[in-house]
Amino acid sequence: MRKGIAALGVALGGSMLLPGAAAAHGLVGRTDLPIPEWLFGWAAAIVLIVSFLALAVLWPKPKLEGTEPRRLVPIPAPVVIDFVCGAIGVVALCVLVWSGLTGEQTPSGNFASIFVFVIFWVGFVFVSAIFGDFFKAFNPWRAIGRGVAGLAKLARGGELPAPLPYPDWLGRWPAAVGIFGFAFQELAASEGNMPKHVAVAVLVYSALTFIGMALYGIDRWIERGEAFSVYFNLFSRLSPFEWRRDAIWLRKPLSGLTKLEPYAGTVPLLAVMIGSVTFDGGAEGEPWVSIAPDLSNFFQDHIGLSPESALAITYTIGLLAAVLIVYGFYRLGIAGARTVGGEFDSPYLASAFVHSLVPIAFVYVAAHYFTFLLNEGQRIWPALSDPDGTNFENWGVDYTIIGATATWYWQVAFVITGHVCALMLAHDRALVLYRDAKAAVRSQYWMLGIMVGFTSLALWLLSQSNQ
């Protein structure tokens, strides 16, 4: 996690101490070894073999599209559970802001940084993908919004004025911007993971969320605008569990994604998700470590920025470039798929297939941050009883729970599984979309190209040495 910036500090001459560098390794005690060449070769070969076989043997009739979930278990007393979960979320939010503002200013010694960057940002992704959209119940902004709306109703003695209609063009754009903002905070901002800065960012984001909910209504904003609800909801669609108000429903794994609404901004959101992990991985090696010092020096020498600002801007440019490259590559593949016929235009196809990028986005996070979660996540236990880090120097981490070799196999397994899931989703969608079976198959050559591209990029990132 932004480890390259420390190396960069040295590359920049070493004489200036980068405050960013201090924060950079504040949360990471152990970095993964790059996957060795032979494993990279094998993984790439398996990806190609799986892809060809998939095209040859995948089902001729849709298997995921149009499947209906079935009721599994009822949720007892849904109102009480909703209230309790919401209250837990609000308490966590308050503790986070308090410990961030007043506690120990060491990222690895404060509940705020550990919770936000390790448990929330990474841990919740895994939990959502396995158990479904649990975050909605715990969402503190939703809970506070509902509480305030309830009080306002009481005070007014009647219904509140109806919110503004949510504009179609806005779609998931606020979520895309929000997730980019998080990635900026984590990867580019100067000392972005310092507890104080985390707490301030949380306060600013909370204010924006309340404005969004006040304008467009709580449920609508949570569903489309609130970045983390949208983010975790996307991953939760991988899960076989669907949480409804009064019961848990069981669905085919992945089939939740086929019901993803094609709102505006969804493709950019996925590009931000994949692009930010790409940048985090890619910033540790070439070509970025050669480009960044020049870019940063340019901002210092020619524009007169301070080293911290120059570095933050440089990293923001890198982050944005990674997102744009991911977006451009996807749109390129889609432009190819358009040529097979079927009278669909490019934007339509781009949003018709975007759900197949969700498993890829998941495995990018999973492969890149798996050990980060297992190792640094251990700090959450002491942090829960000592949130402001009074005694943080004794918060030990056992780095031996997963070795380097096991890590490599997990990472490669994640990446290949994501590839297969993406292929299945795209294939299923093509069968529904194209009435002509031949056009469906031809479109899949292009989709295959996109998937192989993203999967190879994932493997390449994992094989990057950060020397």
Site residues for another protein per CB under 8 A: 6-7, 9-10, 14-15, 17, 21-22, 25, 29-33, 36-38, 41-42, 45, 48-49, 52-53, 55-57, 60, 396-397, 399-400, 403-405, 437-438, 441, 466-467
> 3-state DSSP call for residue 259?
coil
Nearest approach in angstroms of CB 17 to another protein is 6
Nearest approach in angstroms of CB 122 to another protein is 18
Query: 259-294: buried (b, 16+ CB within 10 Å) or exposed (e) per residue?
Result: ebeebbbbbbbbbbbbbbbbbbbbbbbeebbeebbe
Closer to another protein by Cβ: residue 40 or 299: 40
Closer to another protein by Cβ: residue 39 or 310: 39
> 3-state DSSP call for residue 440?
helix
- Single-letter residue type at 122: V
Nearest approach in angstroms of CB 63 to another protein is 16
Q: Of 262, 259, 272, 281, nearest to 348 (Cα)?
A: 262
Closer to another protein by Cβ: residue 25 or 63: 25
Going from the C-alpha of 102 to that of each of 23, 88, 96, the distances in angstroms are 18, 21, 10
Going from the C-alpha of 304 to that of each of 5, 15, 307, the distances in angstroms are 20, 18, 9
Q: Find tokens 């966590």 and name the residue.
A: 92
- Residue 250: its H or E element: strand 247-250
Asked whether 51 and 452 are in contact (CB, 8 A), the reply is: yes
Closer to another protein by Cβ: residue 12 or 320: 12
Closer to another protein by Cβ: residue 133 or 191: 191
Closer to another protein by Cβ: residue 274 or 292: 292
Nearest approach in angstroms of CB 358 to another protein is 26
Closer to another protein by Cβ: residue 385 or 400: 400
Q: Find tokens 């559970």 and name the residue.
A: 81
Nearest approach in angstroms of CB 22 to another protein is 4
Q: Classify residue 222 by its DSSP letter.
A: I
Give the residue ranges of DSSP H helices in 58-194.
78-102, 111-114, 124-131, 135-138, 140-156, 173-187
Q: Of 396, 401, 402, 399, nearest to 382 (Cα)?
A: 396
- Residue 51: its H or E element: helix 37-57
Asked whether 338 and 353 are in contact (CB, 8 A), the reply is: no
Q: Round to the nearest angstrom and report the end-to-end CA distance of the chain.
A: 14
Nearest approach in angstroms of CB 5 to another protein is 11
Q: Which burial class, exposed, middle or buried, applies to 396 when counting CB atoms under 10 A from its CB (0-12, 13-18, 19+)?
A: exposed
Nearest approach in angstroms of CB 102 to another protein is 22
Closer to another protein by Cβ: residue 25 or 259: 25
Nearest approach in angstroms of CB 38 to another protein is 5
Nearest approach in angstroms of CB 218 to another protein is 43
Nearest approach in angstroms of CB 377 to another protein is 15
Closer to another protein by Cβ: residue 36 or 328: 36
Q: Classify residue 35 by its DSSP letter.
A: P
Closer to another protein by Cβ: residue 63 or 220: 63
